[in-house]
Structure 1
Amino acid sequence: MDLLWPPQERQGYQMLVFDTGNEVFSWKRPPPVTMADDQEMRLLEFSDGNLGLSVSRKNQATLELWCLEDYRDEVWVLKHTIQLALQQMPALLQDEHLWIPAVVSSEGDVLIQSRYGLFHCDRDGNLLRRFWFNQPRSSHRVLPVRHVLRKSLVQHPMFKPSENDAEPPFFRWLSSDPSW
């Protein structure tokens, strides 16, 4: 099993790979896209187990979804090009601040992070749902993360909570109990 990191400028836009069996780092070529500082790349996994990579640019309405069809020979195939229906999201067009679209599933679902909320779109770019932040100037933000855990990870006994474990402090704000 390999651990992978998406291409980044500081890595020469190569994908960093860690082979957990041999404990060796290596590089893998990304999809054949023009690399730029204003783009986001996120790793995902297709339902058939193939590695996927989404490519989006800040404040741009087009996203690409790539699939690594041949892992050994590094053959990438463009699966979807998603054009967002921005007319359904006027708040994005009025927002002078940065908004970042990110493909978050192999089916092509898109989350768009903006200053005031998140927008959930399907792979055809249609708005499915809005998630508004309660207070625009609030310091609490809901942000999609880049980390993905597979269900097949080995469950070691040390990871299982005991009956005496308290709720971790970083979840306290989610609790409805005011005593937290």
Structure 2
Amino acid sequence: MRSPGQLGRRVSLLEMDKKLASCINNDASIEIWVMQDYEAEVWALKYRINLLNTSPQFKFISKMALLNQHELLICCHTPSAGPDYLLHCDTDGKFLGYYEMKEGTYSTYFTNQYFQESMIPLPFCEMQEEGGLDKEPPFFIGL
């Protein structure tokens, strides 16, 4: 399988939107390429994030998550034994900030699950009639 475009010094593979993605970073930018057609081995540049104005220097990217289809959280590791960083960027390529993760104090886990607001009421959120405040919720009955 061919790799996307020009490879930088550091390349990471990951899954994004249930597709293979390649994250290529150098000192100036992070490029996120997504496999569009597996048979034809066609990659498409999805995001480019400018790093010229950022202060943390990092060696490689281990994890990435897409939030609300408009923001990226990127877990980066530093070249030395220094701290790791969680970068916050938008999908237009704008760097929004970062959070320093000191070794041994924080653990970062990205999962495929996320919360989504809904206007549909759930059964355990409905108000009970006839003094519902004094009654046990239905999921406590039988305990």
TM-score bracket for the superposition, by shorter chain length? 0.5 to 0.7
Which structure 1 residue ranges, 5 or more long, are not aligned? 1-27, 93-97, 134-139, 152-180
Residues 63 and 101, structure 1, Cα contact 8 Å, conserved in 2: no
TM-score (norm 2): 0.54
Deviation at 1:84, TM superposition (A): 2.9
Does residue 40 (structure 1) correspond to residue 7 (structure 2)? The answer is: no
Residue aligning to 1:111: 75
- Larger proportion of strand: 2
Residues 111 and 121, structure 1, Cα contact 8 Å, conserved in 2: no
TM-score (norm 1): 0.45
Residue aligning to 1:83: 50
User: How do residues 17-96 of structure 1 correspond to structure 2 at under 5 angstroms?
Assistant: 28-33=1-6, 35=7, 39-47=9-17, 49-57=18-26, 60-84=27-51, 86-87=53-54, 89=55, 92=56
- SS of 2:5's partner is coil
Residues 85 and 98, structure 2, Cα contact 8 Å, conserved in 1: no
In 2 relative to 1, CA 99–128 (structure 1 residues): closer, same or farther, beyond 3 Å? closer
Q: Distance in 2 between matches of 1:46 and 1:128?
A: 21
- SS of 1:32's partner is coil
Residue aligning to 2:100: 130
- Larger proportion of helix: 1
Q: How many residues align?
A: 102
2:5 corresponds to which letter in structure 1? P
- Provide the identity percentage: 19
- SS of 2:39's partner is coil
Q: Distance in 1 between matches of 2:4 and 2:20?
A: 11
List per-residue Cα deviations over 1:85-126 (Å, max 9, x = no partner).
645x3xx3xxxxx62252623564222322233243223222
2:24 corresponds to which letter in structure 1? V
In 2 relative to 1, CA 40–149 (structure 1 residues): closer, same or farther, beyond 3 Å? farther
